[in-house]
Structure 1
């Protein structure tokens, strides 16, 4: 049994004005691809001959340049051209990639793959639960399995599941045609956290349905709200064991769609939601540390540029009440370059802010260059250096300035940047919901309702391309 494996992962934010290029991706090829993917252990255990293609992943950002997509797609297709006698394809994709002049990157890639291998060879995908799936994507793929955690901590487990489902399908020569249904609703990710209702009950429902004879995968895709396309909405994707269970899969799809849609009003923010000024005031009043403030409108894990200086400006002008505060991190390549030209311990004056919009106005800072360090990546690239940072200390306020957009999602992100997370009472992060390691140590999570490319009040966003009518805009 021969299976081609790979990963091309990008969550696109169409409100981010900066396009995503080849250089924004972490890319590995050949044998190292196998080391990055948990599916490898499943295939090895089953005696599969693995044919690795590419592992390309980037932090969420703007629309992917056509030439970037072409660069990675060509690398994947070239593997198919060299290996004609394969039995299956397994990939980890996101589900919300948007490519310049093309649209859905996942759909485009699957169509290209089918042109080379036909429709008899099964394809299995691991997908992010925040995918915006094209209406016809299910016509080009056989097996899909989505994450079952938000924040995401189960990617390796899901990779193993979707890999085993592919091995089983090949072994049994199963013909699989999945069922799909889109839902007329958009849910911001911060309103759908796995430990809370209604997503907790939905996850339980998926497990229940997957216990049925003939159903091997039942999936709910929340959607990626900051992706203005015709595919931006929630959806249901159900995979039968074989063609004999296709009618059952259709029935289960309708049942699951009704179950989810009936609970649409229950999706609410889980963190403490405050306007920016109130968020800072409440954080500085906290008796325990650390308190995290999520700069939710500039959430780089959902594709915002990471350039907003709004909270930085407010904190610089605030009485910090003897609290030690960290802003992690503001993306400003020019300010970084200036700071990087100095030695640690030197006093430096610098303007931080790209002035790209009203929320990234330059803020004048004068302080001591505290440290220099690495900027780490995302997904299975959290140990990969993707950029550099400098930390400027202005009294009790420390500011990390980066030479590219990114987010501090693990404790090691802080350590590698040259700061110790336990030193701070209040930490500002360019996130929405806190990622797992940070949530575990947080004494209070504050979702600051800041403006920007990931503005949480989606009913006020000027969408141009989403399907209408849709909840919560036109539909009640």
Structure 2
């Protein structure tokens, strides 16, 4: 009987333990699964030319707030694995077309909204900081560094911050110190932009998950080189081989990430120059990797050339006219709105309209994309397709090189609702189809033309206000030349008149010697 009761109680106890294990541990396990890291999202991105008279206002950023921020990042849709690995608190994410200097009012307003949103959901384990890195603001040097310093004062220094940037951004010491993890794109054109943003976020999540948090070491090396993106494309050498070295270094044990920033050539600030950064926990590997990348960059400095044939305008146009390849793409580089140009310089269009070859019935056809002309747009909306319009276009912002053009031609197409242009029209003048917009817009895709009834593949010549061609236009080209035209992002850096960048600087000071490319150790972010 004793044995029976003993066995009974023993069995009962085991059953109770089993129940407690199943129920208690189950609850604990569920609770543990719910303890996801709290990650905020914020960032403002723009390239700002200080050599352009244009100014960028708050509306240019098309800022997204709260839940709307998710729509900007393709890897953060509701069902994505990355989305499920953290509890996210999107603050403000704004991304503007490159343009002129940002007004003080716009910057302060956007920052106030960002900080207010971040305060609302404190505390955070991490913050994903997505920026371009080449913003200029009235009366303020190093806006991204200032932005991150203000954010640190809200989220604190225990929060791990991971930053993603465009490789044409600038990394100041202040920015490097106040971020913990940092990376940038590895391709130009930026076909890996979203992949790089995802990498910055997954690096953050991994460091939070494994408990390692901030990297033990951050190596920062300023490289005294300042070159335009049109000379540093990763499509061709030496950029192709230089940037090919980054991923293998980032994959090393003891290294979190590695990056090379070319910098932004069209702003005159002390932080504008190339930079190499490597982060990780193995000091020797971080040091040797950073110095290897910096020296590799310096060693090939004289090999960088324009990504396509580059000629003065008259030579470039003659090449286009004489070519039998369609479409012959010609880049109107000096006023490229994707690099920070005002987008409304009329110099090139004025020269094209003078050419007799585009007035003859049997002459070559040309599409010009594009020129802002809000006054012409206003008239077009009243007149309609098929009628003649005559109104001024261009040079309302940047009239330093040519005045507004009184454009007269037949209205061939009208399209409303574009995010950037708002209204687009096609005005036919002889054999030239001029795309006129209410607000400036770069033309990157075939659909930008076809939705206006234009067939760029059949046009003899397509002139775009752009530098190096984005992938879709590049793949469409029959041939291509980049024209050295005037504007706020002039490719002739010697004509820009720098006053504030650090000197000596290659290529402005081509005979530089004794360049120090040793590591500068950036302290861990702290008060």
Q: Is the partner of 1:228 in helix, strand or coil?
A: coil
Q: Contact 2:133–2:169 at 8 Å: present in 1 too?
A: yes
Supply the distance in 2 between the matched residues of 1:360 and 1:4 (Cα, whole angstroms): 47
Aligned-residue offset at 1:434: 0.6
Q: 1:366-405 to 2 correspondence within 5 Å?
A: 366-374=408-416, 376=418, 384-405=419-440
Deviates more, 1:295-304 or 1:205-214: 205-214
Q: 1:251 to 1:46 in 2, by over 3 A?
A: farther
Aligned-residue offset at 1:43: 6.0
Partner of residue 19, structure 2: none
Supply the distance in 2 between the matched residues of 1:326 and 1:406 (Cα, whole angstroms): 15
CA RMSD of aligned residues (A): 1.8
Q: Is the partner of 1:329 in helix, strand or coil?
A: strand
Q: 1:254 to 1:12 in 2, by over 3 A?
A: same
Partner of residue 471, structure 1: 506
Q: Contact 1:307–1:360 at 8 Å: present in 2 too?
A: no
Partner of residue 149, structure 1: 187
Aligned-residue offset at 1:326: 0.8
Supply the distance in 2 between the matched residues of 1:436 and 1:92 (Cα, whole angstroms): 23
Partner of residue 300, structure 2: 263
Supply the distance in 1 between the matched residues of 2:381 and 2:483 (Cα, whole angstroms): 30
The answer as to 2:385 corresponding to 1:344 is: yes
Partner of residue 76, structure 1: 114
The answer as to 2:336 corresponding to 1:299 is: yes
After superposition, the C-alpha distances for 1:299-340 in whole angstroms (9 at most, x for unaligned) are 110000111222212221211362210110012323333333
Partner of residue 496, structure 2: 461
Supply the distance in 1 between the matched residues of 2:274 and 2:300 (Cα, whole angstroms): 13
Q: Contact 2:457–2:476 at 8 Å: present in 1 too?
A: no
Q: 1:69-468 to 2 correspondence within 5 Å?
A: 69-174=107-212, 175-176=214-215, 177-240=217-280, 242=281, 245-318=282-355, 319-320=357-358, 322-354=363-395, 356-374=398-416, 376=418, 384-468=419-503
Q: Contact 1:374–1:385 at 8 Å: present in 2 too?
A: no
Q: 1:418 to 1:4 in 2, by over 3 A?
A: farther
Aligned-residue offset at 1:352: 2.7
Match of 2:54 among 2, 18, 34: 18
Deviates more, 1:389-398 or 1:320-329: 320-329
Supply the distance in 1 between the matched residues of 2:318 and 2:379 (Cα, whole angstroms): 32
Partner of residue 380, structure 1: none
Aligned-residue offset at 1:61: 0.6
After superposition, the C-alpha distances for 1:274-308 in whole angstroms (9 at most, x for unaligned) are 11111111111121211111111111100001112
Q: Contact 1:43–1:50 at 8 Å: present in 2 too?
A: no
Q: Structure 2 unaligned segments of length 5 or more: list them.
A: 1-36, 512-527
Q: Contact 2:132–2:165 at 8 Å: present in 1 too?
A: yes
Supply the distance in 2 between the matched residues of 1:398 and 1:32 (Cα, whole angstroms): 37
Q: Is the partner of 2:130 in helix, strand or coil?
A: strand
Q: 1:365 to 1:46 in 2, by over 3 A?
A: closer
Q: Is the partner of 1:144 in helix, strand or coil?
A: strand
Q: 1:59 to 1:88 in 2, by over 3 A?
A: same
Supply the distance in 2 between the matched residues of 1:116 and 1:39 (Cα, whole angstroms): 27
Aligned-residue offset at 1:182: 0.9
Q: Contact 1:38–1:160 at 8 Å: present in 2 too?
A: no
After superposition, the C-alpha distances for 1:331-376 in whole angstroms (9 at most, x for unaligned) are 2323333333321110122333326434232333321011112475
Q: Contact 1:95–1:128 at 8 Å: present in 2 too?
A: yes
After superposition, the C-alpha distances for 1:16-51 in whole angstroms (9 at most, x for unaligned) are 112110121212222221121135256645531111
Q: 1:53 to 1:465 in 2, by over 3 A?
A: same
Supply the distance in 2 between the matched residues of 1:84 and 1:14 (Cα, whole angstroms): 36
Supply the distance in 2 between the matched residues of 1:145 and 1:416 (Cα, whole angstroms): 37
Q: Contact 2:391–2:408 at 8 Å: present in 1 too?
A: yes
Q: Is the partner of 2:338 in helix, strand or coil?
A: helix
Q: Is the partner of 1:170 in helix, strand or coil?
A: helix
Q: Structure 1 unaligned segments of length 5 or more: list them.
A: 377-383
The answer as to 2:79 corresponding to 1:37 is: no
Q: Is the partner of 2:63 in helix, strand or coil?
A: strand
- After TM superposition, what 4+ stretches of structure 1 lie above 4 angstroms from structure 2? none
Q: Is the partner of 2:329 in helix, strand or coil?
A: strand
TM-score if structure 2 supplies the norm length?
Answer: 0.85
Q: Is the partner of 1:341 in helix, strand or coil?
A: helix
After superposition, the C-alpha distances for 1:211-233 in whole angstroms (9 at most, x for unaligned) are 32111211110111111111111
Supply the distance in 1 between the matched residues of 2:162 and 2:123 (Cα, whole angstroms): 17
Supply the distance in 2 between the matched residues of 1:79 and 1:220 (Cα, whole angstroms): 32
Q: 1:431 to 1:399 in 2, by over 3 A?
A: same
After superposition, the C-alpha distances for 1:132-172 in whole angstroms (9 at most, x for unaligned) are 22232110001112111111111111111111100011112
Q: Is the partner of 1:288 in helix, strand or coil?
A: coil
Supply the distance in 2 between the matched residues of 1:100 and 1:186 (Cα, whole angstroms): 22
